[in-house]
Amino acid sequence: MGSNADNHASNAHLTTPTPLTGSEIVWATLVGEGVTDVFGYPGGAILPVYDALRKFPIHHTLVRHEQGAAHMADGYARASGKVGVAVATSGPGATNLVTGIATAMLDSIPVVCITGNVSSKVLGTDAFQEVDITGITLPVTKHNFLVSKTEDIAPALRLAFQIAQSGRPGPVLVDITKDAQQGTAIFDFAAAKPKAYRPHPMLHVDEAGLEKAAELIRNSKQPVILAGHGISESGAMDQVRALAERTQIPVALTLLGLGAFPASHPLNLGMMGMHGEVWVNDAIQNADLLIACGMRFDDRVTGKLASYATKAKKIHIEIDPAEINKNVKADVALVGDLREVLEELLPRIAGRDGTAWLKTIAASKGESAVHDIKNLPDSGHLYAAHVVHDLWRLTAGEAIVVTDVGQHQMWEAQYFHHEEPRSLVTSGGLGTMGFALPAAIGAKTARPAKEVWVIAGDGGFQMTAAELSTIVQEGLKINIAIINNGYLGMVRQWQEFFYERNYESTPLVSPDFVKLADAHGIAGLAVKTRSEVESAVTAARKAPGAFLLNFMVEKEDSVYPMIPVGSALHEMIRRPGKNPLIESSKDN
Ligand SMILES: Cc1cc2nc3c(=O)[nH]c(=O)nc-3n(C[C@H](O)[C@H](O)[C@H](O)COP(=O)(O)OP(=O)(O)OC[C@H]3O[C@@H](n4cnc5c(N)ncnc54)[C@H](O)[C@@H]3O)c2cc1C
Ligand SMILES: Cc1ncc(C[n+]2csc(CCOP(=O)(O)OP(=O)(O)O)c2C)c(N)n1
Ligand SMILES: [Mg+2]
């Protein structure tokens, strides 16, 4: 643990050009960029940087595995909107970051990773713990740098922060050789400022495009807004809401869009895609206009492209020109920052009557809700849906939920209703198991006043469970819900549906998670019945420190509905049988 807030010497460096070592320049630049927290793990090639940390007001969280550092920086960024920072040594330290960097890349998260490397004189000689980490991370970073001169450190780091946050956000890696860390140069923070960010030449919205979009909206009878992750990244929540309310157009959300438009809003339809609600996907398939706001038509969202929303014109509002016409052809592309584009579009849009279309959707909703299991009377079985639903009821409006990847992630998306942006932290694009526990540490560090819940599967939790020690060392109040179904559940579900129930390598033996927590000094409870859920959640919330709940849920439950890979959006697998699995949307 290293909190160096009582050292004041550093800030003066920001205004007066001063000779500093490369290591000091690293921290002085981070201070100048407003960084207060970093997540990392030391080693020989980054040791000069660690040695200089005590002089700067930056808190360092010591992780248990560098993958954790990258996920923590990522969770920090997702929960706060700020840049997350991870630090690691050369060789294995750097390669351990890679999964976390790729996770941030796929979901466009601004993260800066700083790695040490061997001295520039021995670069390329297979020196001890030398890897070409800029080469390795080239395809999973937005940009990366190999810095071998002390005077280049500050400009590279400042540029890294600019690149990570500008346009479509993403991870940037700065690899600094040991001799550059040890050398001395004049540190001039102001002079190291990157040139003003020049948006991509295509980043402009032309009058004609705006007019065409307004006309399509005016003439549409069955429009749907597709709300994505770009809404929270752009801060366009108010503009999207204004668009929906003025035009009475219903809003379907991607997994990463959840929270960007309030779940309780009457125009909110719910999640679209592979495990989205049936009425949402049906509305998209029957739409005559889709207005895509900061979403990239992922294959989990579109299903089979050839039969995706064939009757609909598409307006695509998106900051990255590479996303336009990548998966789905746009009739109108408005390339730019979503909030800015909507601010230009909104004055051109008048009110319209959406009653008929909203009625049609409401009619399809009644019988096809996914809110089935939670409406069942208590049969003595504990379903994950019960757990997530109770968690939502008890923490509504308070909690940031950080999920892992698998069935529990989808049940969270279906049964936890997010009202605010940045209240769901989840790995969508890479779908990285092991993400939740470390990402929650990042989220709690960024927003200490918020209640933070991890919802993880028994499989994914074990991938990064070592970070329980980090929680204890940092004294963080994080609540952990393990949805323990004894399986790599999502893979088991695919085996059930598509591989004749051949449960090869998916049954999973786990430790007693409550005892594991206890060994770390973390309190916990096992929960086996539905009637215990509420009191257990309340106990966890009331406990002063971290708390782990091991929910022993039904082993072979599946996530419904589901679009099989390669099928169209309307070809969903529905929950089999009728009673007692009643499907109704009454209890939401
Ligand atoms: C097991 C599993 C199941 C899944 N099932 C589903 C499912 O059923 N439904 C579902 O929706 N997803 C599902 N996903 C997630 C899915 O894989 C994608 O991650 C998700 O759909 C992407 O959502 P998005 O396009 O909103 O976000 P991103 O992939 O983050 O894309 C955001 C887009 O917004 C753009 N953008 C960023 N900033 C701005 C800005 N300022 N202005 C304008 N544009 C901006 C970016 O360039 C990018 O194109 C699943 C994932 C897993 C692991
Ligand atoms: C690092 C990694 N390895 C493999 C996978 C493939 N995978 C996706 S979901 C899943 C099962 C997850 O099991 P568990 O954590 O128990 O969650 P559950 O689905 O049971 O809720 C697997 C293996 C993955 N997403 N990430
Ligand atoms: Mg499991």
E strands in 204-341: 223-227, 251-253, 268-271, 289-293, 313-318, 332-335
Atom from ligand 1 closest to the CA of residue 107: 30
Question: Which residues lie with the beta carbon below 6 Å from any ligand 1 atom?
Answer: 107-108, 168, 228-230, 233-234, 254-257, 271-276, 294-296, 298, 300-301, 318-320, 323, 337-338, 405, 409-410, 428-429, 431, 490
pLDDT at 366: 65
Residue 408 in contact with ligand 2 by CB distance below 6 A: yes
Instruction: Tell me, rounded to whole angstroms, the distance of Cα 296 from its chain centroid.
Output: 15
Measured in Å, residue 120 CA sits from the centre of ligand 1 at 40
The neighbour count for residue 17, using CB atoms within 10 Å, is 12
Alpha carbons 552 and 458: distance in angstroms, whole number: 10
- Among 30, 6, 35, CA closest to 20: 30
Residue 430 in contact with ligand 2 by CB distance below 6 A: no
Predicted confidence band at 8 (pLDDT cuts at 50, 70, 90)? Answer: very low
User: What are the tens digits of pLDDT across the range 448-459?
Assistant: 999 999 999 999
Instruction: Tell me, rounded to whole angstroms, the distance of Cα 358 from its chain centroid.
Output: 30
Measured in Å, residue 270 CA sits from the centre of ligand 1 at 14
Atom 27 (ligand 1) nearest CA? 229
Amino acid at 359: K
Instruction: Tell me, rounded to whole angstroms, the distance of Cα 229 from its chain centroid.
Output: 9
The stretch 492-512 carries a mean pLDDT of 97
Most confidently predicted of 132-141, 356-365, 367-376: 132-141
Measured in Å, residue 457 CA sits from the centre of ligand 3 at 5
Torsion of CA 456, 458, 462, 132, to 10 degrees: -60
Question: DSSP alpha helices (H): ranges in 7-151?
Answer: 22-32, 47-52, 66-80, 92-96, 98-106, 133-137
Atom from ligand 1 closest to the CA of residue 295: 25
Atom from ligand 2 closest to the CA of residue 508: 16
Atom from ligand 1 closest to the CA of residue 276: 8
Residue 39 backbone zone (phi > 0: left; psi -120 to 50: alpha; other: beta): beta
Which residue shows structure tokens 């010591």?
Answer: 62
| 246 pLDDT above the threshold of 80 | yes
Alpha carbons 38 and 438: distance in angstroms, whole number: 13
Evaluate whether 192 touches 325 at the Cβ level (below 8 Å): no
Evaluate whether 175 touches 113 at the Cβ level (below 8 Å): no
Evaluate whether 523 touches 495 at the Cβ level (below 8 Å): no
Amino acid at 381: H
Evaluate whether 400 touches 232 at the Cβ level (below 8 Å): no
| 368 pLDDT above the threshold of 60 | no
Residue 487 in contact with ligand 2 by CB distance below 6 A: yes
Residue 459 in contact with ligand 2 by CB distance below 6 A: yes
- Among 445, 403, 436, CA closest to 61: 445
**One-letter-per-residue 3-state SS of 336-371:** CCHHHHHHHHHHHCCCCCCHHHHHHHHHHHCCCCCC
Among all bound ligands, the one having the nearest atom to the CA of 278 is 1
Among all bound ligands, the one having the nearest atom to the CA of 485 is 3
Which percentage of the chain shows pLDDT scores above 70? 94
Ligand 2 pocket test target in 101, 106, 405 with most atoms within 8 Å of CB? 405
pLDDT at 200: 67
Predicted confidence band at 382 (pLDDT cuts at 50, 70, 90)? Answer: very high
| 579 pLDDT above the threshold of 50 | no
| 369 pLDDT above the threshold of 60 | no
Check the CA dihedral 544-548-554-556 and report its sign: positive
Alpha carbons 470 and 117: distance in angstroms, whole number: 25
Residue 503 has what DSSP assignment?
-
Residue 186 has what DSSP assignment?
E
Distances (CA, A) of 272 to 267, 283, 464: 14, 10, 30
pLDDT at 201: 62
The stretch 475-493 carries a mean pLDDT of 98
Work out the mean pLDDT of the chain and round it to a whole number: 93
C-alpha R_g of the chain: 25
Cis, bond preceding 580 (omega within 30 deg of 0): yes
Atom from ligand 1 closest to the CA of residue 339: 42
| 252 pLDDT above the threshold of 50 | yes
- Among 142, 200, 197, 137, CA closest to 169: 142
Evaluate whether 540 touches 472 at the Cβ level (below 8 Å): no
pLDDT at 371: 60
pLDDT at 6: 45
Predicted confidence band at 534 (pLDDT cuts at 50, 70, 90)? Answer: very high
Atom 1 (ligand 1) nearest CA? 406
- Among 241, 161, 157, 154, CA closest to 191: 154
Alpha carbons 321 and 11: distance in angstroms, whole number: 39
Measured in Å, residue 228 CA sits from the centre of ligand 1 at 6
| 581 pLDDT above the threshold of 70 | no
pLDDT at 197: 80
Measured in Å, residue 456 CA sits from the centre of ligand 2 at 10
Predicted confidence band at 1 (pLDDT cuts at 50, 70, 90)? Answer: very low
User: What are the tens digits of pLDDT across the range 186-221?
Assistant: 999 999 999 988 766 666 788 999 999 999 999 999
Atom 18 (ligand 2) nearest CA? 489
Evaluate whether 81 touches 420 at the Cβ level (below 8 Å): no
Residue 306 tokens, joined: 């050839």
User: What are the tens digits of pLDDT across the range 49-91?
Assistant: 999 999 999 999 999 999 999 999 999 999 999 999 999 999 9
Residue 42 in contact with ligand 2 by CB distance below 6 A: no
Phi, psi of 266 (to 5 degrees): -60, -25
- Greatest extent of the chain over all pairs of C-alpha atoms, in Å: 75
Measured in Å, residue 534 CA sits from the centre of ligand 1 at 32
Measured in Å, residue 459 CA sits from the centre of ligand 3 at 5
Measured in Å, residue 168 CA sits from the centre of ligand 3 at 33
Strand order in the sheet with 143-147: 59-62, 37-40, 84-88, 111-117, 171-177, 143-147
Phi, psi of 59 (to 5 degrees): -90, 130
Residue 71 tokens, joined: 């996920």
Phi, psi of 309 (to 5 degrees): 40, 55
SS3 333: strand
Residue 209 in contact with ligand 2 by CB distance below 6 A: no
User: What are the tens digits of pLDDT across the range 122-171?
Assistant: 999 999 999 999 999 999 999 999 999 999 999 999 999 999 999 999 99
Ligand 1 pocket test target in 256, 302, 334, 569 with most atoms within 8 Å of CB? 256
Q: Report DSSP letters for 523-547, one per residue.
A: EEEEE-SGGGHHHHHHHHHHSSS-E
Alpha carbons 458 and 402: distance in angstroms, whole number: 15
Distances (CA, A) of 384 to 411, 461, 481, 551, 557: 7, 16, 10, 8, 8
Q: What separation, in Å, do the N-terminal and C-terminal C-alpha atoms of the chain show?
A: 43
User: What are the tens digits of pLDDT across the range 406-439?
Assistant: 999 999 999 999 999 999 999 999 999 999 999 9
**Helix 66-80 and helix 98-106: axis angle, to 10°?**
30
Distances (CA, A) of 89 to 46, 65, 153: 5, 12, 16
Return the active site residues.
66, 128-129, 178, 490
User: What are the tens digits of pLDDT across the range 97-115?
Assistant: 999 999 999 999 999 999 9
Alpha carbons 338 and 295: distance in angstroms, whole number: 10
Atom 1 (ligand 2) nearest CA? 433
Which residue shows structure tokens 């009425």?
Answer: 279
Evaluate whether 111 touches 174 at the Cβ level (below 8 Å): no
Cβ neighbours for 255, distance < 8 A, ≥ 6 positions apart: 271, 273, 300, 413, 426, 428
Question: DSSP alpha helices (H): ranges in 249-305?
Answer: 278-286, 299-302
| 4 pLDDT above the threshold of 70 | no
